[in-house]
Amino acid sequence: MSTIQFKEVNCKNCYKCVRSCPVKAISLKNDHAQVIEEECVFCGKCLQVCPQNAKSVKNDVEKVKGFADKKLKIYASIAPSFMAAFNLQDLRQAYSVFKKLGFTYIEETAVGASAVSAEYQKLLEKKQMKNIITTACPTIVSLIEKHYPELIEQMAPVVSPMVAHGKMLKELYGSRIKVVFIGPCLSKKQECKELEEDVLDAVITFEELEQWMKDENLSFDSTEEAELKNIEFNFNARYYPTPGGIIKSLGSPKKHNYKLMKFDGLDRCIEVLEQLRNDKVKDYFIEMNSCRGACLGGTCMNSENPGYLIMRERLLEYAHKSSLSHNTIMEYDREISLTKAFKNKSNSYIVPEDKIIEDILSKIGKYTKEQELNCGACGYMTCRDKAVAVYNKKAELHMCVPYMRERAESISNVIINSTPNAIFAVTEELTVQEANMAARRLFNLECEELQNRSIFDILDCLDILTVNDTKQNILNSKYTYLKYNVVVEQSILYLKENHMLMIVMKDITKDEKQNQKLNKVRSETIEIAQKVIDKQMRVAQEIASLLGETTAETKVALTKLKKSMQVEMGEEI
């Protein structure tokens, strides 16, 4: 399992982790960040800057609980910064809490640091190295092994205090015990993971310890103090968590030719390593810490710590209180090797020829030097650095924020200006912010400057004022702009998030004119039909009238004829 883990679901393509990573050991795959473990120095900067909590640290608490469940003996090696972070006056105050968590015994890592300082002292006295780079920081070790391998020969070939103390504990109490380091450092987890010797079994950060104690309802507020074994060692080793702590632990070394220098902060350390690599610098004894403020600025400090200034004051007071001038290690005066062989772990990183870099840049619209903005939004200092990262499959083309924005705006403009609907964007002050080509054509505004003009200079529609006042949309209403002899079907929308109005119009002038013609034809047809009906009614009435008269005359005539015939036949009438 990786020391730093990413939650893909939370990664939002902000590239903050890429920008913050001093060695660019983060790649983007399918829009999600991934740690390149072969290049990572585990400084924890990506954890600190991630706004989405997309990264987490491998947690060993459950592993240590497992040791306790199996009734194994667990020894804690506690970093000197512990006293400052948790505001304790003496390590004995913490013993009862660790007992309740399942630990057998606790001891200061400063015991191991004292032995390491003794090894540094020997290197100074031998005067055989060009420069001596010393550190208790695994991040600095990884930085040199992976990114400055040519400086490995200038590293003091000595293990870290954590490893030294682990060796001592297992030598004294037996190899079957479990040793757990407690400290403020993320990279100690990686150092433990990479150990080839079985001298350390787990690493718990101050953050993890604090949470574990909360889960168990424990605190260091108790005044109960346990008796711890009195071990004599160089108490100046308690200064290790501060910048220059290694140098201070050397006391007053015999005269030597080395200039003693200290540097903290990864950027400054990288700057010094660059100079050591490129310049003929020699006779320096250099102490390095990746965190500003050394271990007191660790990335995994507990939440209750009061900040660097107070913690430094607490640590100095604690270290000074019991400081001794000698380097005797009574309990651990045994044959234990503290030598360390560093390895070249550099990863192949190919810088392609200029033509390939230019081809990559051209794919994101950068054809000239002037188009290379070098804004750093993608996480890389220059566009060319980013192109090299793309070539090495560490970055993706679309990580270029200005290009993607320009492209999005371009596509948006194409869509808006291609639509046949007229669109006006209007501010809450009712001034025109933008109008598309269809709007300009519809209202004969092609040659006019519209921005910041009042919308009422162009459109005399009171619905615009209504929507702006009420914030309620008016949709699909028909409106006639007599000034332009234009009829539109329009929707006026209030965009709350943008604090503006959008007016969308469909030109229905031709449809309206066609409808008017059809209506006129219909009216004329109805009128003609009515006239025909009226005429037919008159004719019918006239015919009816004539039929009535002729029928009456016929009746009279026939009646007379009937009577005359009856007379002739001698019938009585």
What's the pLDDT band for 228 if we cut at 50, 70, 90? low
Same domain (yes/no): 223, 315: yes
Q: Give me the CATH number covering residue 432.
A: 3.30.450.20
In angstroms, the CA 387 to CA 396 distance is 9
Same domain (yes/no): 437, 482: yes
Q: Which of 361, 381, 407 is the last residue of a domain?
A: 407
pLDDT at 252 over 80: no
Q: Which of 356, 378, 407 is the last residue of a domain?
A: 407
Q: What is the CA radius of gyration of the chain?
A: 45
Q: Which domain holds residue 155?
A: 57-321
* Residue 5 pLDDT: 80
Same domain (yes/no): 520, 503: no
Mean pLDDT of 528-544: 83
What predicted TM-score, i.e. pTM, was given to this entire model? 0.71
Structure tokens at 146: 């992976």
- Does 332 map to a domain? no
- Does 387 map to a domain? yes
pLDDT per position as a tens digit, 163-188: 999 999 999 999 999 999 999 999 99
- Does 400 map to a domain? yes
Same domain (yes/no): 522, 500: no
Percent of the chain with pLDDT over 90: 52
Same domain (yes/no): 146, 262: yes
User: How many domains does the chain divide into?
Assistant: 5
- Does 566 map to a domain? yes
Q: Give me the CATH number covering residue 30.
A: 3.30.70.20
* Residue 28 pLDDT: 81
Same domain (yes/no): 206, 143: yes
Higher pLDDT, 446 or 443: 443
In angstroms, the CA 159 to CA 115 distance is 10
* Residue 323 pLDDT: 54
In angstroms, the CA 34 to CA 28 distance is 6
pLDDT per position as a tens digit, 553-573: 777 777 777 777 777 776 555
Higher pLDDT, 36 or 179: 179
Residue 387 to residues 21, 35, 46, Cα–Cα distance (Å) = 17, 19, 22
pLDDT at 92 over 70: yes
In angstroms, the CA 364 to CA 366 distance is 6
Same domain (yes/no): 300, 374: no
Arithmetic mean of pLDDT over the chain? 87
In angstroms, the CA 527 to CA 377 distance is 74
What's the pLDDT band for 280 if we cut at 50, 70, 90? confident
pLDDT per position as a tens digit, 294-307: 999 999 999 888 89
Strand partners, 35: 26
In our burial notation (b when 16+ CB lie closer than 10 A, e otherwise), range 80-106 reads: bbbbbbbeeeebebbbebbeebbbbbb
* Residue 168 pLDDT: 94
pLDDT per position as a tens digit, 470-502: 999 999 999 999 999 999 999 999 998 888 999
In angstroms, the CA 293 to CA 81 distance is 11
Question: Residues 173, 179, 182, 185: what is their CA dihedral angle, to the nearest 10 degrees?
Answer: 130
Q: Mean pLDDT lowest for which of 132-146, 176-190, 244-258, 322-336?
A: 322-336
pLDDT per position as a tens digit, 356-408: 988 888 888 888 888 888 888 888 889 998 889 888 888 888 788 777 777 66
Q: What HEC string does 479-533 produce? A: EEEHHHCEEEEEEEEEECCCCEEEEEEEECHHHHHHHHHHHHHHHHHHHHHHHHH
- The DSSP output letter for 8 is G
* Residue 331 pLDDT: 46
Q: To 5 degrees, how large is the angle CA 323–CA 324–CA 329?
A: 120
Q: Mean pLDDT lowest for which of 136-145, 178-187, 411-420?
A: 411-420
- Does 413 map to a domain? no
pLDDT per position as a tens digit, 391-400: 888 888 878 8
Same domain (yes/no): 116, 201: yes
* Residue 224 pLDDT: 61
* Displacement of CA 448 from its chain's centroid (Å): 43
- Does 502 map to a domain? yes
Same domain (yes/no): 386, 246: no
pLDDT at 274 over 80: yes
Mean pLDDT of 41-54: 86
Same domain (yes/no): 398, 465: no
* Residue 129 pLDDT: 95
pLDDT at 325 over 60: no
Name the residue type at position 552. A
In our burial notation (b when 16+ CB lie closer than 10 A, e otherwise), range 478-502 reads: ebebeebebbbbbbbebeeeeebbb
Q: Mean pLDDT lowest for which of 51-55, 108-112, 140-144, 189-193?
A: 51-55
* Residue 555 pLDDT: 74
Instruction: Give the CB-side neighbour count of residue 210, counting CA atoms within 13 A.
Output: 14
In angstroms, the CA 189 to CA 335 distance is 27
Same domain (yes/no): 232, 363: no
Q: Which of 356, 373, 407 is the last residue of a domain?
A: 407
pLDDT at 229 over 70: no
- Does 281 map to a domain? yes
- Does 272 map to a domain? yes
Q: Which residues, including other chains, have CB under 8 Å from residue 136's CB and lie 6 or more apart?
A: 113, 116, 160, 161, 162, 240, 245, 246, 289, 295
In our burial notation (b when 16+ CB lie closer than 10 A, e otherwise), range 378-395 reads: bbbeebbbbbbbbbbebb
Same domain (yes/no): 399, 250: no
